Structure 1
Amino acid sequence: MNNTILVADDDPEIRDVLHIYLRNEGYRVLEAEDGWKALELMKEESVDLIILDIMMPGLDGIKACLKIREDSNIPIIMLSAKGEAIDKITGLSTGADDYVTKPFNPLELIARVKAQLRRQNFAGPNAVADSSIIHIDEEFSINKEQHRITVRGKDVPLTPTEFSILLLLATHRGQVFSIDKIYQSAWREQSVFYSDNTVMVHIRNLREKIEANPREPMYIKTVWGVGYKID
């Protein structure tokens, strides 16, 4: 069955363009003109990925993303006419997996859609095959098959991007990965359309979820001037 993509944008021309490009790639496409309609469609249809505009009337993309993340880890790509770093950070911090600034090249967006869907269906880059569970310590474990992590006795929900980054670091304990390498491995594409903030915000989100004290992380360590690692 073809993947279903939900495009939520109040601009009908953008929806039409994306519909054509996505349909040409074999995807089934649903359209919503605002956040409320997007949430309604998600209740009625099985959706594999959402392209979510930030600036929409009624329920905007930021609020819609927060509501979606209350019970779903479906991949979300944010769209916005704003290109400032703070807007990108805000979008990623609410749980989005990627961010594209308008005006955009439709082929770039299609490439990002494919990368998100590949990652969703891929257990992780170079994952260890002899065990489905990785134990970081007695309080922190990763179940690769179920895409679940348990920290201090509690299940912690992660977005697909967060899980891919964590799995990369966890399956290569002690190895330092640059921001560029993390992007290429987690997004499974060359680092052409990204900025350092993209990876850094996801690392910050991960620390907020798994670290007892995100300002003094026990697990995801920064190697200044080089990148990140899990010991």
Structure 2
Amino acid sequence: MADGDTPAPVSILLVEDDEVIRRSVGLALERYGYRVATAGDGLTGLEMFREGGHDLLLLDVMLPGLDGVGLCRRIRETSMDPILMMSARGDALDIVSGLEAGADDYVVKPVDTAVLVARIRSLLRRAVYAPAETPAAQARPEPSASSSRLRFGDLVIDTAGLEVSVAGRPVALAPTELRLLLEFAANPGIVLDRQTLLRNVWDYGWDGDSRVVDLCVQRLRKKIGAERIETVRGFGYKLRR
């Protein structure tokens, strides 16, 4: 294959203040073929993010200058790039704070390399969509003017253009939020439990933390309207027809 045909390696921005962890995680990811740029504090990480060229961000929660949660919020102001948070303690407050700030997923340190790479691959798959692969492409809610458009009242999902609007106004969704909405749209009126959503949306081949689902549903509700996604206590969630 000619050099011009060789795809560029995936670029990861790793922001971690512990030099030992930063080096070990960076080297481990490079062995898997990723290109890794590193920063030792939140402000430097923000500057490097703004310079661009990164496909995924891996952020520690506890950072000097600007902590990982604050950094995640600043990134989400302008970008929907995949964000994976790292928590040293696995503390519920750290995890919830990171996910509420807009992170897509998290891992607990010390990080198992195989788990970390699996989460990264999953995030990258979710960030790059092909319309034929989206489950909503086969959904048949109400008929609309275009076969690629799903309509639920004033909520419109364009499965070809991967665009969402409410009452004619575009809604910016992070990749995971979009995939979650597509999963609901493929099953209107059907209750989806958290483990099903973890498998189909987060691409987990194992049981994950259901807090990821709950917090992503909360973020999605804020953007498209809280009344559209109903909680069925003890079971899961469903998109109202």
Q: Output the TM-score relative to the length of structure 2.
A: 0.87
Change (3 A) 1:145 1:2: farther
1: CA distance, partners of 2:42 / 2:202: 26
Indicate if the aligned counterparts of 1:21 and 1:110 stay in contact, CA closer than 8 A: no
Gaps in structure 1 of 5+ consecutive residues? none
Provide the residue aligned with 2:107 in structure 1: 100
* Deviating more after overlay: 158-167 vs 36-45: 36-45
Indicate if the aligned counterparts of 1:125 and 1:185 stay in contact, CA closer than 8 A: no
Map residues 17-56 of structure 1 onto 2, 5 A cutoff: 17-56=24-63
* Deviating more after overlay: 27-36 vs 140-149: 140-149
Post-superposition offset of 1:179: 0.1
Post-superposition offset of 1:135: 1.4
2: CA distance, partners of 1:125 / 1:186: 10
* Divergent runs of 4+, >6 A: none
Indicate if the aligned counterparts of 1:5 and 1:28 stay in contact, CA closer than 8 A: yes
Gaps in structure 2 of 5+ consecutive residues? 1-7, 139-145
Change (3 A) 1:71 1:45: closer
Post-superposition offset of 1:180: 0.2
Q: Is 1:164 the counterpart of 2:179 in the alignment? A: yes
1: CA distance, partners of 2:230 / 2:111: 34
Post-superposition offset of 1:128: 1.3
Indicate if the aligned counterparts of 2:137 and 2:159 stay in contact, CA closer than 8 A: no
1: CA distance, partners of 2:110 / 2:43: 24
Across the aligned residues of Structure 1 and Structure 2, the Cα RMSD in angstroms comes to 1.7
Residues 12-36 of structure 1 show CA distances to partners (whole Å, capped at 9, x for unaligned) of 1111112122112111111111122
Q: Output the TM-score relative to the length of structure 1.
A: 0.90
- The counterpart of 2:209, out of the listed 183, 195, 200, is 195
Post-superposition offset of 1:77: 0.5
Q: Is 1:179 the counterpart of 2:186 in the alignment? A: no
Provide the residue aligned with 1:152 in structure 2: 167
Q: Which amino acid aligns with 2:70?
A: K
Q: Which amino acid aligns with 1:70?
A: E
Q: Is 1:14 the counterpart of 2:21 in the alignment? A: yes
Post-superposition offset of 1:42: 2.0
Change (3 A) 1:12 1:195: same
| Secondary structure of residue in 1 paired with 2:27 | helix
Aligned length, in residue pairs: 224
Q: Which amino acid aligns with 1:21?
A: A
| Secondary structure of residue in 2 paired with 1:128 | helix
Post-superposition offset of 1:125: 4.2
2: CA distance, partners of 1:70 / 1:108: 28
Post-superposition offset of 1:4: 0.7
2: CA distance, partners of 1:162 / 1:209: 10
| Secondary structure of residue in 1 paired with 2:151 | strand
Q: Please say which structure displays the higher CA radius of gyration.
A: 2
Post-superposition offset of 1:9: 0.5
| Secondary structure of residue in 2 paired with 1:83 | coil
Map residues 69-88 of structure 1 onto 2, 5 A cutoff: 69-88=76-95
* Deviating more after overlay: 103-112 vs 79-88: 79-88
Indicate if the aligned counterparts of 1:180 and 1:191 stay in contact, CA closer than 8 A: no
Provide the residue aligned with 1:206 in structure 2: 220
Residues 96-128 of structure 1 show CA distances to partners (whole Å, capped at 9, x for unaligned) of 000112222121111100000011113464231
Q: Is 1:220 the counterpart of 2:229 in the alignment? A: yes
Q: Is 1:120 the counterpart of 2:127 in the alignment? A: yes
Post-superposition offset of 1:164: 0.8
2: CA distance, partners of 1:149 / 1:77: 24
